[in-house]
Amino acid sequence: MNAFLNVLAYATIPAAVVVIGGIVGAVRTHGAAARSAVQHFAAGVVLLRWPRSSCQT
């Protein structure tokens, strides 16, 4: 039971961040420059991780 509570405690951290991010996103909108920066960052993360995941069998 103690291990389950540890997992549950660690799982609430990303869940809380998602909820907070959703609330902030619903209340505050960003301009075109911020949107472009986020999209470029996400594309960089995808391209950085892509070759490693496709080489594993």
What is the per-residue pLDDT for 33?
94
Confidence of residue 15 (pLDDT cuts 50, 70, 90): very high
| pLDDT tens digits for range 34-53 | 999 999 999 988 887 766 65
Say how many residues make up the chain: 57
Task: Give me the percent of the chain exceeding a pLDDT of 70.
Answer: 84
Give the contacts of 5 (CB within 8 A, at least 6 positions apart).
none
Residue 55 per-residue DSSP state: H
pTM confidence score: 0.53
- Residue 52 to residue 22: CA distance in whole angstroms: 30
- Residue 26 to residue 5: CA distance in whole angstroms: 31
